[in-house]
Amino acid sequence: MEKTVASLVNAAIRGLGNHYADGTERIEIHVPSDHAHGLPHSKGIRVPVVLHVGDEIFDAGLRSTAHNDYVWICPNLTAKDGCRKRLADIVAAAGFKKNDHVCLLVTGNDIVLKHATSQ
């Protein structure tokens, strides 16, 4: 059986400039394409991933296209109870904010969002 190795990927929380009806800005988590080798992405396809934020676990999507120089975690998630959630709300509740530099601990299709450590 092949052993899956975890990788640490640097990312950033980015605002999209458009907002939900309640005024909350839509956000995504971006990874520059040239640093996304540890992520399970495929151009033009939403790849399903499991995103861990704090003690919560969500079904999420990872996207990349030929027109963008980054890979991103999509702004809409599904909680394990089936409820639809917004990435903006999830990261804010966990103490993250727009433009934060973060780390993604990636093991296969499993991604853990972590605060970036200071250099």
Q: Report which residue type is found at 1.
A: M
The tens digit of pLDDT for each residue in 106-118 reads 999 999 999 987 4
Q: Report which residue type is found at 29.
A: I
Tokens of 11: 């990312």
Query: The pTM is what?
Result: 0.89
Give domain limits for the chain: 7-115
Tokens of 2: 């092949």
Distances (CA, A) of 88 to 7, 39, 75: 24, 21, 7
Enter the CATH code of domain 7-115.
2.40.330
Q: Look at the block and give the residue holding tokens 């780390």.
A: 103
The tens digit of pLDDT for each residue in 29-47 reads 999 998 888 888 888 899 9
Alpha-carbon torsion 104, 101, 46, 56, what sign?
positive
